[in-house]
Amino acid sequence: MAPRAAGKNVVLGVTGGIAAYKAVEVCRRLVEEGAHVVPVLTEDALRFVGEVTFSALASEPCRHSLWDDVEAIPHTRLGKGAALVLVAPATARFLGCYAAGIADGLLLATVLATRAPVVVCPAMHSEMWEHPAVQDNVSALVRRGVHVVQPSEGRLAGGDVGTGRMAEPADIVDAAMAVLEAGPGGAVGRGRDLEGKRVLVSAGGTREPIDPVRFIGNRSSGKQGHAVAEVASERGAQVVLVTTTGLPGPPGATVLRVDTAAEMEAALLEQAGQADVVVMAAAVADFRPKEPPVKKLARSEGLPEIVLEPTPDILAGLSRRRHEGQVLVGFAAETHELARRAAAKLAAKGVDLIVANDVSLPGAGFDHDTNAVTILGADGERKEVPLTSKREVANAVLDTVVQHLGARGRRAPGRRD
């Protein structure tokens, strides 16, 4: 396969975080893709990695200062000559300075001086990534056209586990290649094909209280729903995410936190009327305790009798209330008879698409970063998505959604979104 970045100049920015060691692998992969790589390290990055390593792997010697040679305006030369600027890792400090337009050092001056696409790969502790100031800065950058490769959940510095771990080098390079292929104004993934559309996504498993401290729930992590929201945002959509999880939403999205099926139903019904697309990826409990006590149940009081009642059928309710032109997508997590049960749900709920997955398969479904699904359409279409990342599953689902939106637009050319 031909190198994807042959002849392209890529400025690789590295800032001062522990994830800087991964940037060495990013550099190597970019060179393998045929890119002419110019590494630019901040002074703090040099505390974690050595410039000799990058100089040896890259296409030019490492740069780290506005004053490290006789060239008068190195940032302008770097910015004008770049087909892409990729910053991995991007620390909270870098994101804040970039959002505020502060040219503090060679790398920040370069990203402010360039008109090439810029991709940033945040990496920091969970508390920092979730801080409103950081999220506001990222949102501002996204609005200005900066591409963000979302951090993942995993082991962080100091042994903690959470969201904020920099994406893996292979995923970062794939995202960079997609931006190069799209050219100026392009987006990570399939492009801005959802620009101007409103996408409503649900994620996570509901929790139905048994008493004030216990609940009936399920094993859904919400990762698939959050992946759909992130990819939809990257593809230009205005996203509203209704979630039961503590995972951060994509920059610029409206995130509504809920717990129970009733709370989720209320939030979705309130938002659905303005949505062009509704993706019901949440795992909603089928039953809930009818009259949970207001005080904690005690073992000493004996085994309680818990009377269950059905929770609202949110997907069917959304189907009954949807407006003309809206695309409605449901999810079906099954353990057996996948095709039959998914087809039955597709017909019963009156939706456009059902995304079915067998959660008993290794690596698929709950709490994994990967998934394998079958996408069934009310028009008889069927698409198999083999085991892949949940982001790629999200892209496959949204590819199908875009096809449906296009078909409806052709049938109703006068529709105003």
- Residue written as token pair 């794939």: 174
pLDDT at 122: 94
Q: Any catalytic annotation for residue 9?
A: no
| pLDDT of 166 over the 60 cut | yes
Domain with CATH 3.40.50.10300 in the chain: 198-411
| pLDDT of 199 over the 50 cut | yes
Confirm if 202 and 264 have CB atoms less than 8 A apart: yes
CA distance 227 to 393: 8
Per residue in 228-282, pLDDT tens?
999 999 888 999 999 999 888 888 889 999 999 999 999 999 999 999 999 999 9
The length of the chain is: 417
What is the token pair recorded at 281? Answer: 């990826």
* CATH, domain range 198-411: 3.40.50.10300
| pLDDT of 399 over the 70 cut | yes
Specify the higher pLDDT residue, 407 or 218: 218
Nearest one of 311, 346, 347 to 330, comparing CA atoms: 346
Give the confidence band of 186 by pLDDT, cuts at 50, 70, 90. very low
Give the confidence band of 339 by pLDDT, cuts at 50, 70, 90. confident
pLDDT at 281: 96
pLDDT at 376: 94
What is the CB-side half-sphere exposure of residue 84 using CA atoms within 13 A? 31
Most confident of 142-156, 219-233, 360-374: 219-233
Give the confidence band of 155 by pLDDT, cuts at 50, 70, 90. confident
Residues 216-226 have a mean pLDDT of 90
Give the confidence band of 37 by pLDDT, cuts at 50, 70, 90. very high
Q: Cα 319 to the chain's mean position, in Å?
A: 26
**CATH fold of 9-182, please?**
Rossmann fold (3.40.50)
Residues 88-102 have a mean pLDDT of 96
Nearest one of 30, 39, 27 to 7, comparing CA atoms: 30
Burial of 320 per CB tally in 10 Å (0-12, 13-18, 19+): exposed
pLDDT at 242: 98
Confirm if 375 and 383 have CB atoms less than 8 A apart: yes
Percent of the chain scored above 90 by pLDDT?
Answer: 56
Give the confidence band of 409 by pLDDT, cuts at 50, 70, 90. low
CA distance 175 to 178: 5
| pLDDT of 110 over the 80 cut | yes
| pLDDT of 201 over the 90 cut | yes
| pLDDT of 25 over the 70 cut | yes
Please, which residues have CB within 8 angstroms of residue 301's CB and are 6 or more apart in sequence? Answer: none
pLDDT at 184: 58
pLDDT at 161: 76
Confirm if 194 and 168 have CB atoms less than 8 A apart: no
Give the confidence band of 298 by pLDDT, cuts at 50, 70, 90. confident
Burial of 265 per CB tally in 10 Å (0-12, 13-18, 19+): buried
Q: At what angle do helices 92-100 and 106-113 cross, to 10 degrees?
A: 40
Q: How far is CA 335 from CA 27, 173, 349, 365, in A?
A: 42, 35, 20, 10
Per residue in 309-332, pLDDT tens?
999 999 999 999 999 999 999 999
Domain with CATH 3.40.50.1950 in the chain: 9-182
- Computed over every residue of the chain, the mean pLDDT equals 88
Q: Hey, how many other C-beta atoms are within 10 angstroms of the C-beta on 282?
A: 27
Give the confidence band of 66 by pLDDT, cuts at 50, 70, 90. confident
10, 16, 22, 23 alpha-carbon torsion, rounded to 10°: 10
Specify the higher pLDDT residue, 368 or 115: 115
Residue type, 385: V
pLDDT at 83: 93
pLDDT at 388: 81
pLDDT at 312: 92
Per residue in 362-394, pLDDT tens?
778 787 888 889 999 998 889 998 888 888 899
| pLDDT of 140 over the 60 cut | yes
What is the pairing mode between strands 84-90 and 36-41? unpaired
Plot region of 145 (φ>0 → left; ψ -120 to 50 → alpha; else → beta): left
Per residue in 202-212, pLDDT tens?
999 999 999 99
pLDDT at 69: 64
CA distance 413 to 311: 39
| pLDDT of 413 over the 60 cut | no
Specify the higher pLDDT residue, 236 or 11: 11
Which of the following is catalytic: 9, 137, 218, 395? 218
| pLDDT of 354 over the 90 cut | yes
pLDDT at 414: 43
Give the confidence band of 72 by pLDDT, cuts at 50, 70, 90. low
